[in-house]
Amino acid sequence: MSQLYLGEFEEIVLLTVAVLDGKAYGMSIIDEIKSRLGRNVSLGAVQTVLKRLEEKGMVSSDFGEATAVRGGKRKRYYTITSTGQQSLTVMKEQRMALWNALPHPFALNFI
Amino acid sequence: MKKTENTRPPGLALGLFRGFCHPDFREEIEGDLQESFHRNVEDHGVRHARKKFWWDVLLLFRPEIIVPIHFFAKLNFINMKKSDWLLFAALNLLLVFLIVVPFLPGPPNKAVIGLSGFSQLLGVFGMILIPLGVVWAMVEYRKFRQQKPPTNNWNNGFYFAILTGIICLPMYVLPASVATYAEGLWAGVSAAILLILALWKLIPQIRKLRHDSSFKFNPTPLYLLSIPLISLVARLLLTEPISDFSRQQVITQSETLITAIEAFKAQEGQYPETLEDLTPTYLNKIPRPSVMGVLRFEYEKTADAYNLSFNQWLHFGATQEVVLYNKNDQQLPKGYFASFDTSQKGWRYYWFD
């Protein structure tokens, strides 16, 4: 289980990689997080988490195309692995279990 | 997009990134940095994009991204301890920081100007230490290679340390005396306390060297080489761009002040006698400059307009730069030895000895 554990930001980045479905690279992940969550994240934070997720085997990566605005440097595209999918599923189930365990009046009060 | 492709990100920041980033990640992250930079140029302009680029580069300095320590370990042919290398890097970075700190955003502080001047002086007077550092390093390396303690007294680090102390003492006392003369007793007392603390820490270590029979490489001579060289290089490379940055920063900040002065003129029919006349009607309070080495705004009413100025200290804390605004471009300062235009209308700057 400890191998499948994800921090809050790791979970967000991993979900975003899954959402982008093969088109996830540094900048596109930042854009997606900003547009969906309204959260500004730095390139450093995203790249650090991507390296960590890759080390844990939750994402895999391949080089893509280079463009002029990137100074001729290639993009590195990330895709979610089966371990990553399994981890997200476990995280979701755990959260749902916690949500379902909430006393109803309390849950209804603030949802 | 074509226009932005010709704009380049700050070379120094890019060089810094290439220096610390792990080679395996360098290509994609550099590509992301460049893409972000060009987008920011399009959306917010070059100045904002450059600032953001620097910020992005600094935020990338993280353990997962930087070159791992073992990369450097291969270069460690003198087998120095990791803690010694870290201390060496930290002290040299501190030296660079002290040189640039008066030009960085922060509350105005007189002490940072003196510290920067002193750190810059090390790049000149410290050059005397380089030959001593070279000889001492060679002796240390010989001892380390032969793997036996020194047999003659002359190659004992103790004597090199004493000689270094004799050379360094006047290099410290002289600027400390100048600071005391210029700034008052507090500067002299602070310098004396600092010297006593340094001697209290160093003397036992120097005495230990006299009977040191180990054959380990003593890193001290590396400091004698690095400190003057790093100070010189930092002063030559950084003073100009960083003072451009701080000047621009304060000029931008003073727009509020100029707007308030003009509002006063529109309302009262004449320019204020002092900046204090603007409060509280036109400004809640007179802003303090947002750069650490710029202590205050100066204001002087002239016949048909006014001069608004601020000072910053450059080269060794001995060259005073006066940045002056006159809406009619009629600045008439005396005694300067060089003057320069800025990109803002009405602003010029002058260098004084």
Query: pLDDT digit string (tens) for B30-57?
Result: 999 999 999 999 999 888 999 999 999 9
Q: Is the pLDDT of residue B344 over 90?
A: no
Partners of residue A77 on adjacent β-strands: A62
Average model confidence (pLDDT) across chain A: 88
* Chain B contact set for A27 (CB, 8 A): 32, 35-36, 39
Tell me the torsion sign for CA atoms B285, B290, B296, B297: negative
Q: At what angle do helices B110-125 and B220-253 cross, to 10 degrees?
A: 140
* Chain A contact set for B28 (CB, 8 A): 25-26, 63, 73-76
Average pLDDT, stretch B234-242? 88
Contact, B237 vs B230, CB < 8 A? no
What pLDDT, on a 0 to 100 scale, did the predictor assign at position B12?
86
Question: Which parts of chain B are beta strand (E)?
Answer: 297-301, 306-314, 319-325, 338-341, 347-352
Per-residue pLDDT band for B5 (boundaries 50, 70, 90) equals low
Q: Which residues contact B24 (CB under 8 A, 6 or more apart)?
A: none
* Chain A contact set for B66 (CB, 8 A): none
CA distance B346 to B284: 25
Distance between terminal CA atoms of chain B? 46
What pLDDT, on a 0 to 100 scale, did the predictor assign at position B86?
82
Per-residue pLDDT band for B73 (boundaries 50, 70, 90) equals low
Per-residue pLDDT band for B71 (boundaries 50, 70, 90) equals low
Pick the range with the lowest mean pLDDT from A38-47, B14-23, B25-34.
Answer: B14-23
For an interface test with B, give the residue of A25, A46, A51, A74 to mutate (most B CBs within 10 A).
Answer: A51
Q: What percent of chain B has pLDDT over 70?
A: 92
For residue B141, count CB atoms less than 10 angstroms from its CB and return exposed for 0-12, middle for 13-18, buried for 19 or more: middle
Average pLDDT, stretch B105-133? 88
**Does B43 lie at the interface with A, CB-CB under 8 angstroms?**
no
**Residues A70, B29: C-beta atoms closer than 8 Å:** no
Per-residue pLDDT band for B209 (boundaries 50, 70, 90) equals confident
* Chain B contact set for A51 (CB, 8 A): 25, 64-65
Average pLDDT, stretch B179-183? 79
* Chain B contact set for A52 (CB, 8 A): 64
Average pLDDT, stretch B4-12? 76
> How many CB atoms lie under 10 A from the CB of residue B15?
10
CA distance B247 to B102: 11
Q: Which of B333, B294, B22 is nearest to A76 (CA)?
A: B22
Please state whether the peptide bond connecting residue B68 to the residue before it is cis, i.e. omega within 30 degrees of 0. Answer: no
Alpha helix stretches (DSSP H) within B101-184: 110-125, 129-146, 157-183
ipTM of the prediction: 0.88
Q: Is the pLDDT of residue B210 over 90?
A: no
Identity of the residue in A42, A47, A69 whose CB atom sits nearest the CB atom of B35: A69
Identity of the residue in B4, B31, B55 whose CB atom sits nearest the CB atom of A75: B31
Partners of residue B346 on adjacent β-strands: none
- What are the pLDDT digits (tens) for B240-278? 889 999 999 999 999 999 999 999 999 999 999 999 999
Per-residue pLDDT band for A108 (boundaries 50, 70, 90) equals low
**Residues B34, A73: C-beta atoms closer than 8 Å:** yes
What pLDDT, on a 0 to 100 scale, did the predictor assign at position A28?
95
Average pLDDT, stretch B208-231? 85
Residue A29 distance to chain B (closest CA, Å): 11
**Does B27 lie at the interface with A, CB-CB under 8 angstroms?**
yes
Average pLDDT, stretch B149-171? 78
Residue reference for tokens 């009405």: B346
The alpha-carbon radius of gyration of chain B (Å, integer) is: 25
Identity of the residue in B33, B38, B64 whose CB atom sits nearest the CB atom of A51: B64
Distance between terminal CA atoms of chain A? 30
Per-residue pLDDT band for A82 (boundaries 50, 70, 90) equals very high
What pLDDT, on a 0 to 100 scale, did the predictor assign at position B1?
45
Identity of the residue in B5, B30, B56 whose CB atom sits nearest the CB atom of A69: B5
- What are the pLDDT digits (tens) for A19-44? 999 999 999 999 999 999 999 999 99
What pLDDT, on a 0 to 100 scale, did the predictor assign at position A101?
86
Q: Is the pLDDT of residue A4 over 90?
A: no
For an interface test with A, give the residue of B5, B22, B26, B27 to mutate (most A CBs within 10 A).
Answer: B27
Identity of the residue in B27, B34, B60 whose CB atom sits nearest the CB atom of A44: B60
Residue of A34 and A67 predicted with greater confidence: A34
Q: Is the pLDDT of residue B153 over 80?
A: no
Pick the range with the lowest mean pLDDT from B96-105, B146-155, B307-316.
Answer: B146-155
For residue B291, count CB atoms less than 10 angstroms from its CB and return exposed for 0-12, middle for 13-18, buried for 19 or more: buried
Tokens of A22: 């093969």
Chain A residues contacting B via beta carbons under 8 Å: 25-27, 30, 42-45, 47-48, 51-52, 63, 66-71, 73-76
Tokens of B127: 């050059």
**Residues A71, B34: C-beta atoms closer than 8 Å:** yes
Backbone angles phi, psi at B254, to 5 degrees: -75, -5
Tokens of B54: 């620097």
For an interface test with B, give the residue of A69, A75, A76, A77 to mutate (most B CBs within 10 A).
Answer: A69
Residue A44 distance to chain B (closest CA, Å): 4
Residue of A3 and B236 predicted with greater confidence: B236
Q: Is the pLDDT of residue B103 over 90?
A: yes
Pick the range with the lowest mean pLDDT from A20-24, B172-176, B186-190, B209-213.
Answer: B209-213
**Does B64 lie at the interface with A, CB-CB under 8 angstroms?**
yes
Identity of the residue in A30, A52, A74 whose CB atom sits nearest the CB atom of B27: A74
What pLDDT, on a 0 to 100 scale, did the predictor assign at position B34?
93
